[in-house]
Amino acid sequence: MTVLHDPDGTDFSLVCDGCGTTIDRLGANLHNWELAWSLVRRHGWIGERSRQGPHGCPKCTTRSAYAVDG
Ligand SMILES: [Zn+2]
Protein backbone atom coordinates (compact mmCIF):
# COMPACT_ATOMS: atom_id res chain seq x y z
CA MET A 1 0.00 0.00 0.00
CA THR A 2 1.03 3.60 -0.20
CA VAL A 3 0.88 6.26 2.47
CA LEU A 4 0.30 9.80 1.26
CA HIS A 5 2.22 12.61 2.91
CA ASP A 6 0.67 15.41 0.90
CA PRO A 7 -3.02 15.90 0.18
CA ASP A 8 -2.28 16.23 -3.52
CA GLY A 9 -0.43 12.91 -3.60
CA THR A 10 2.90 14.25 -4.80
CA ASP A 11 4.75 12.72 -1.87
CA PHE A 12 4.09 9.19 -0.72
CA SER A 13 5.80 6.15 0.77
CA LEU A 14 5.43 2.56 -0.31
CA VAL A 15 4.68 0.09 2.49
CA CYS A 16 4.85 -3.70 2.18
CA ASP A 17 1.51 -5.21 3.11
CA GLY A 18 3.29 -8.33 4.33
CA CYS A 19 5.93 -7.07 6.75
CA GLY A 20 5.62 -3.29 6.86
CA THR A 21 8.91 -2.53 5.10
CA THR A 22 8.69 1.07 3.96
CA ILE A 23 10.34 3.05 1.20
CA ASP A 24 10.06 6.63 2.39
CA ARG A 25 9.69 9.78 0.31
CA LEU A 26 9.17 7.87 -2.90
CA GLY A 27 6.90 10.53 -4.32
CA ALA A 28 9.25 13.33 -3.36
CA ASN A 29 11.99 11.67 -5.37
CA LEU A 30 10.05 10.30 -8.32
CA HIS A 31 6.94 12.53 -8.37
CA ASN A 32 4.72 9.96 -9.96
CA TRP A 33 3.23 6.67 -8.80
CA GLU A 34 3.56 4.90 -12.15
CA LEU A 35 7.23 5.75 -12.37
CA ALA A 36 7.88 4.84 -8.74
CA TRP A 37 6.16 1.49 -9.11
CA SER A 38 8.03 0.58 -12.28
CA LEU A 39 11.27 1.32 -10.45
CA VAL A 40 10.55 -0.68 -7.30
CA ARG A 41 9.33 -3.60 -9.42
CA ARG A 42 12.82 -3.81 -10.84
CA HIS A 43 14.02 -4.20 -7.26
CA GLY A 44 11.77 -7.17 -6.64
CA TRP A 45 8.52 -5.67 -5.40
CA ILE A 46 5.38 -7.21 -6.79
CA GLY A 47 1.65 -6.68 -6.40
CA GLU A 48 -1.17 -4.65 -7.79
CA ARG A 49 -0.45 -1.76 -10.09
CA SER A 50 -2.82 0.43 -8.11
CA ARG A 51 -1.62 2.66 -5.27
CA GLN A 52 -3.87 0.79 -2.85
CA GLY A 53 -2.03 -2.47 -3.34
CA PRO A 54 -1.52 -5.02 -1.98
CA HIS A 55 2.22 -4.74 -2.52
CA GLY A 56 4.94 -7.13 -1.45
CA CYS A 57 8.60 -6.34 -0.86
CA PRO A 58 11.39 -8.67 -2.08
CA LYS A 59 11.74 -10.19 1.39
CA CYS A 60 8.11 -11.26 1.36
CA THR A 61 7.94 -12.25 -2.29
CA THR A 62 10.78 -14.73 -1.86
CA ARG A 63 8.57 -16.44 0.69
CA SER A 64 5.97 -16.52 -2.09
CA ALA A 65 3.37 -14.74 0.01
CA TYR A 66 2.50 -12.72 -3.08
CA ALA A 67 2.69 -15.14 -5.96
CA VAL A 68 0.32 -13.26 -8.21
CA ASP A 69 1.26 -10.60 -10.70
CA GLY A 70 0.88 -10.07 -14.40
ZN1 LIG B 1 7.60 -7.40 3.08
The reported pLDDT for the residue numbered 3 is: 92
The identity of residue 65, as a single letter, is A
CA of residue 38 to ligand 1 center, whole Å: 17
The identity of residue 53, as a single letter, is G
CA of residue 6 to ligand 1 center, whole Å: 24
The reported pLDDT for the residue numbered 1 is: 93
Ramachandran quadrant class, 54 (left: phi over 0; alpha: psi -120 to 50; beta: rest): beta
For the stretch 14-25, pLDDT in tens is 999 999 999 999
For the stretch 6-53, pLDDT in tens is 888 889 999 999 999 999 999 999 989 999 999 999 999 999 999 999
Q: Give the pairing type, strands 12-15 and 22-23.
A: antiparallel
CA of residue 61 to ligand 1 center, whole Å: 7
